[in-house]
Structure 1
């Protein structure tokens, strides 16, 4: 089974959103089936076979989340990150400012679903390969 050290080693290779497809493939090769990341402090829960989980604790101080979801701001921030224009910390701050609470990566379906502060799914996209 994968360890938190394995996940951190894969994540250390990511410099921008442009590196994300390779990161996803690295996680799949480790046996990660899905993960959930919370914008407020960056903690994530990684899930493998048999409900095996690894908790990655908070990675930064708590961000203040906007009370409402702003689609245009989030979509602009996401596209900028995917182009490689922003680092992970900037993307997380942009998510918080746009009212994005968390995202869930399904590595079997290769989808990423973003949720607002009210728990509504606001965007689901296919992960590029």
Structure 2
């Protein structure tokens, strides 16, 4: 199965949201079926077949997630990020400021779902 080191190596080749589809293809080839990213500290949980899990360490000091979702601002910033206009640290800041707590990427269904701090679905979009 895959390791956090392999995933981090793949992630090191991502500089903007425009690189995300290539990253997804690479980790999918490693055997990742889905993953969860926590905005508050950057911790990730990767899932594979037969209940396999690989959990990363937090990537940065905890940041506060706003309790209310600002959907229009988040979606505008998401589009900018996907077009390569912003880097990942900026996107994380925008997520926290606009109430995005985490997201789950399902590599079998090829969708990414964003959630607020209460576990409510904010947005679901197709990958690729």
Do they fold alike, i.e. is TM over 0.5? Answer: yes
Which sections of structure 2, spanning at least 5 residues, go unmatched?
none
TM-score after normalising by structure 1: 0.97
Deviation at 1:14, TM superposition (A): 0.2
| Counterpart check, 1:4 vs 2:22 | no
CA distance in 2, matches of 1:119, 1:70: 15
- Shift >6 Å, 4+ stretches: none
> Secondary structure of the residue that 2:75 maps to in structure 1?
helix
CA distance in 2, matches of 1:75, 1:10: 26
Partner residue, 2:84: 84
CA contact (8 A) 1:36 1:44 kept: yes
CA distance in 1, matches of 2:88, 2:47: 21
TM-superposition CA deviations, 1:30-86 (whole Å, max 9, x none) = 000000000000101000010111001110111111110010111011011101011
Which sections of structure 1, spanning at least 5 residues, go unmatched?
none
Aligned pair count reads: 128
TM-score after normalising by structure 2: 0.98
